[in-house]
Each structure stands twice: as structure tokens, then as C-alpha cells.
Amino acid sequence: MPSITEAGQSLVVTMAVGNGRVLTLRFDERMITCELDPRDGTSLEISFQWDPAKAALKDVTLGSATYRWQAFDYRVAVRQGRATKTPMGWKVSGERTPIVLVLAQRA
């Protein structure tokens, strides 16, 4: 069962994912951090399924994804991992954790 707590201005979700591993997701105002413990060389992958009727996925590069929603462009920068496009959206894969996603609105 996931645990959801507040830490200052952050929302922290912790859940067991099997084989003694724990996934922690930290949601900050402009950043999402995904960490898998213990760090035993296991790779981590976060997948974003996209509904093009709600927001247009514009571009995916190794270090970012950009999309358009309600006349604004948004960019998700990927730290310590790599982004790739998938048939239904995009994903971030990493050999190491944490994976950090930085969120920004662009004019």
C-alpha cells in the first residue's frame, strides 16, 4: 500500500515495488524526483502515456520533452536519465536513480 506524506512544500509517495525495493516519488512545485532503493544497479523507467486530444506532445529529445496545452508550451527537462518517444507518449529510462524531472512553462 502506498504511503503519502507531506514534507515541507513537497508531497512524497513511497511504495514497495517487489524484491525488497522501494520507489519514492517526490512532487515539488517545479520538480518531480523518482528514486528506487536499494540502489543495486537496477534500472528505473518512468512512462508517460499521452492523450493527444488533451495536450499536443511536440518533441522528445534525450534530455527533454515539450508539449502544448491551452495555448502554452511546456518543457520537462530530464536529469540523470534519457527520454525517448514511445507509440503512446514518452518515457524516461535511467541506469541510476534518482531521476529528476524539472517542469517549466515557456512563453
Confidence of residue 8 (pLDDT cuts 50, 70, 90): very high
What is the residue-averaged pLDDT of the chain?
89
Full domain range(s) for residue 29: 3-106
- pLDDT of the residue at 96: 73
36, 44 Cβ separation under 8 angstroms: yes
Confidence of residue 68 (pLDDT cuts 50, 70, 90): confident
**Residue 27 carries which side chain, given as an amino acid letter?**
F
**Residue 13 carries which side chain, given as an amino acid letter?**
V
User: CA–CA separation, 36 vs 81, rounded Å?
Assistant: 13
Residue in the structure block whose three cell numbers are 508539449? 67
User: CA–CA separation, 73 vs 50, rounded Å?
Assistant: 15
Q: How many domains does the chain have?
A: 1
pLDDT single digits (tens) 23-57:
999 999 999 999 999 877 778 899 999 887 888 88
| E-state strands within the chain | 3-7, 10-18, 21-27, 31-37, 44-49, 56-61, 64-69, 72-79, 82-86, 89-94, 99-106
**Residue 34 burial (10 A CB sphere; 0-12, 13-18, 19+):** buried
